[in-house]
Structure 1
Amino acid sequence: MPTVIITRPSHQAQNLAQGLAQLGRQSLVYPLFEIEAIRDNPELDLALQNLAAFALVVFVSPNAIDALFTRAPTLASNWPSALTIGVVGAASRQALLRHGVDANKVKIISPSHEERTDSETLLVELDLPALAGRKALIVRADSGRDFLTEALRAANVEVQAVTAYKRVTPPFDENRRAQLIDFLQGQYDWVITSSAALRTLLDWCSQLDRENAVAKMQQQHLFVPHFRIAEVAAELGFKHVSLSASGDEKLLLALQSHL
């Protein structure tokens, strides 16, 4: 039974690792990126002070949710009753729940199609005529797609996009090099939750003084929770990619079903 390599940030890997252990699966955490909240962030602080002025807040990821609610720990209990939340996947709904945001008290909108969750499918769920002339806040990373911002503005919505966190690639030090060399000697199940992480992984393989390191990596089995990551994996030459729906439950089910 292949060991599962979890490539999430260290602090976000434990729940999945525990779930795998309950299924009798061994796992190792090998972060390909870390998440850092932007500490000096007056733009976000101002948006928080004026939150009731918005009709919609969109969180682009669970990391955006964590960044905002960690900055304002009492926000969940003081969330404006008329302020709708938009998210793109089950993992973000779970993150809201962890911070005490109850879907029975706050209107939460997300794509109805569980296997295709992105900005496009979220946009379909939004009542654009009702949002016209009103304000929307998008809480995002320091990089990413601007589709939703542009689409909302085209619908006459006043959009404020605020960066709440950044993705940081860890240094490819001797320890990580040794681990990666070891991984390439066998076959593992890799959980990949970021397209950028895939590019980092191949870049690290190309830096190894090992014949066919990239080709060996492309033969590993990837498990991804989003169709866009699956598309990028195919473009980068990965041969074995399993797509699950969003959320740890679906990832665990995919990993177990494969066996």
Structure 2
Amino acid sequence: MTGWRLLLTRPAEECEALAASLAEQRIHSSSLPLLAIEPLKETPEQRGIILELDRYCAVVVVSKPAARLGLDLIDRYWPQPPVGQHWFSVGAATGALLEDYGLPVYWPAVGDDSEALLALPELTEALAVPEPRVLIMRGEGGREFLAERLRGQGVAVDYLELYRRCLPEYPKGTLARRVEAEGLNGLVVSSGQGLENLQRMAGDTWPDLARLTLFVPSPRVAEQAALAGAKNVVDCRGASATALLAALRQYPAPAL
């Protein structure tokens, strides 16, 4: 496992945490954040949604930035969160932030995606009320799959969009130079947008980088990567450090 030399592409704070987990296992990593989180300015619509938080039988938080920014809003407008409300997160790291805040939160034991979340019996139980309504806290322009599935079950769904993701600016050729200079043999992305930004950064060098092992968080992103021409895609079935480490143990590093 220690033969891996990985490029991490998550937002800077998440890269730092993941790099520390990898270092504990003596795995070399190099951080080049390809997603930056930009909080959205509070709008009257946002304020209206958070002031009526108690009308939702369940709240789904899809990411750590959504959790942090959403909790900031709750602190601003609620002396304490509504009682009896069910909270859900797509992954354990996001769930931990909500749990530390004191919220009753559930997340899938396996799989950091909407499909795994929809299979939770606790979500089914939370929706078993007259005229169920769900709030999804997320970034701007996220996936529609979860909302579509819930609406198909007769659930009213609202979004509270709290941030946008953007590609940080780097000098041309930064990605290819980093990979070559540090002898990296694996790339790690945590979302479909992260993969798109990786391709944008790579530019003309993408066919060469696409030969490196690419670690992705879900079957959906794995399919996206294969369609983009990635030659060796590993689905970690989750975006956590634990999921990545499990994949690294299963797949040996390529020989030098």
User: Common fold, TM-score beyond 0.5?
Assistant: yes
Structure 1 stretches lacking a partner, 5+ long: none
2:231 aligns with: 239
Contact 1:187 1:221 in 2 (8 A): no
One of 95, 110, 117 as aligned partner of 1:122: 117
TM-score, normalisation: structure 1? 0.82
Structure 2 stretches lacking a partner, 5+ long: none
What code does the residue aligned with 1:100 have? Y
- Of all paired residues, the percent bearing the same amino acid is 29
SS in structure 2 opposite 1:137? strand
Write out per-residue CA displacement over residues 97-132 of structure 1, whole angstroms, 9 at most, x where no aligned residue.
4x4335xxx1x34345x14x4333423333276144
CA distance in 1, matches of 2:77, 2:85: 12
Measured after TM superposition, the shift of residue 23 of structure 1 is 0.9
Q: Are 1:163 and 2:161 counterparts? A: yes
1:81 aligns with: 83
Q: Are 1:32 and 2:27 counterparts? A: no
Measured after TM superposition, the shift of residue 256 of structure 1 is 4.1
What code does the residue aligned with 1:181 have? R
Change (3 A) 1:101 1:238: farther
What code does the residue aligned with 1:252 have? L
Write out per-residue CA displacement over residues 82-108 of structure 1, whole angstroms, 9 at most, x where no aligned residue.
1001222233223324x4335xxx1x3
Write out per-residue CA displacement over residues 195-232 of structure 1, whole angstroms, 9 at most, x where no aligned residue.
122222222222x5xxxx22211111112222211111
2:176 aligns with: 180
Change (3 A) 1:50 1:258: same
Counterparts of residues 129-148 of structure 1 (less than 5 Å): 130-148=128-146
Change (3 A) 1:202 1:94: same
For the aligned residues, what is the CA RMSD? 2.6
One of 242, 247, 251 as aligned partner of 2:244: 251
Measured after TM superposition, the shift of residue 22 of structure 1 is 0.9
2:217 aligns with: 225
Contact 2:66 2:138 in 1 (8 A): yes
What code does the residue aligned with 1:202 have? Q
Change (3 A) 1:148 1:257: closer
Higher deviation after alignment, 13-22 or 151-160: 151-160
CA distance in 1, matches of 2:23, 2:62: 29
Change (3 A) 1:252 1:70: farther
2:65 aligns with: 63
CA distance in 1, matches of 2:163, 2:57: 23
What code does the residue aligned with 2:154 have? N
CA distance in 2, matches of 1:204, 1:235: 18
Measured after TM superposition, the shift of residue 187 of structure 1 is 4.0
Change (3 A) 1:250 1:124: closer
Measured after TM superposition, the shift of residue 79 of structure 1 is 2.8
CA distance in 2, matches of 1:92, 1:167: 17
Higher deviation after alignment, 158-167 or 87-96: 87-96
CA distance in 2, matches of 1:237, 1:77: 51
Contact 1:76 1:101 in 2 (8 A): no
Change (3 A) 1:184 1:196: farther
SS in structure 2 opposite 1:253? helix
Q: Matched residue pairs, number?
A: 245
Contact 1:76 1:100 in 2 (8 A): no
Change (3 A) 1:77 1:236: farther
1:215 aligns with: 207
SS in structure 2 opposite 1:245? coil
Measured after TM superposition, the shift of residue 193 of structure 1 is 0.3
CA distance in 1, matches of 2:131, 2:20: 46
